[in-house]
Amino acid sequence: MPLIVRQTQHDDVDAILQIKQEPKVARHQYRVDIREYSDHIQRVLRGDNKTGVITSQFMTIAKDCEVIGYLRQDHYSVDGIKYLSCGWNLASAYWGQGVMRFALTQLLNQWIFELEIQHVFAEYFRTNLRCARLLDRLAFATQEIPIVERLSTAWQLRCLQWVVRRRLDAETWKLQDGSSFSGTPQISSTIVAEQLGVDRSQ
């Protein structure tokens, strides 16, 4: 069965939390209260997914009916320009198999070609070399993080890890011809568009 990228469902949450708490996965992310994180996902799934100008969504990556990863995406606009910030976790048993490259390629095609996102951001700890290589392959460029923001993040999240921010511009992705990437997973774009309130009738 091919990989399937779909909107996260309530039944996926337990598997998502298990992936997030897996030791190999947890060392590459901020520490959070797992109950608060679970409540956050549940609120988003119930439709309480707006915080100020940001609309959040979770996507599940499944293989053979098993949840093997997930992705968080935050959508927002500034002066009419659409931005998206994303982060993800994948069960370590599936590392090195191209799963995240498959999933992100499909999602980037959707975000940029269908939802008209202009800039996509992703962040990771500098020690996460797998993530760095993945974003290199997807043509993400390094984006400078102001020192004030670094200090604020370190204080608020009690984290001394050096964070790397990467950015992919829509024009760069179009030049990469991402839509030609073979073996991409199945994905329901209608669900994503409806979740974000996008009018697809035009």
Give residue-wise pLDDT tens across range 43-58.
999 999 999 999 999 9
Q: Let me know if residue 179 belongs to a domain.
A: yes
Residue 166: per-residue pLDDT: 95
**pLDDT (average), residues 92-103:** 95
User: How far from chain centre, in Å, is Cα 179?
Assistant: 18
In this structure, the strands spanning 66-78 and 81-90 are antiparallel
CA 85 → CA 71, 96, 166, 191, distances in Å?
Answer: 11, 23, 10, 19
State the pTM of this model: 0.82
Q: Let me know if residue 202 belongs to a domain.
A: no
Instruction: Quick: pLDDT tens for 129-147.
Output: 999 999 999 999 998 888 8
**pLDDT (average), residues 107-134:** 95
Residue 199: per-residue pLDDT: 39
Q: Let me know if residue 201 belongs to a domain.
A: no
Q: What percent of the chain has pLDDT over 70?
A: 83
Residue 178: per-residue pLDDT: 53
Q: Let me know if residue 70 belongs to a domain.
A: yes
Q: How many structural domains are present in the chain?
A: 1
Instruction: Quick: pLDDT tens for 141-197.
Output: 998 888 887 787 666 767 667 789 999 999 999 887 654 444 434 444 434 444 444
Q: What is the rounded distance in angstroms from the CA atom of residue 177 to the CA atom of residue 124?
A: 25
Task: Give the closest residue to 65 by CA, choosing from 14, 20, 1, 11.
Answer: 1
> Is the dihedral angle over the CA atoms 169, 155, 162, 96 positive or is it negative?
negative
**pLDDT (average), residues 22-33:** 87
* 61 or 182, greater pLDDT: 61
- CA angle (13, 19, 20) in 5-degree steps: 85
Q: Let me know if residue 146 belongs to a domain.
A: yes
Q: Let me know if residue 162 belongs to a domain.
A: yes
pLDDT higher than threshold 90 for residue 90: yes
Q: Let me know if residue 55 belongs to a domain.
A: yes
Question: Which structural domain range is residue 47 located in?
Answer: 4-196
Residue 1: per-residue pLDDT: 54
Q: Record the tokens describing residue 101, joined without a space.
A: 């490259």
pLDDT higher than threshold 70 for residue 95: yes
CATH number for the domain spanning 69: value is 3.40.630.30
Residue 148: per-residue pLDDT: 84
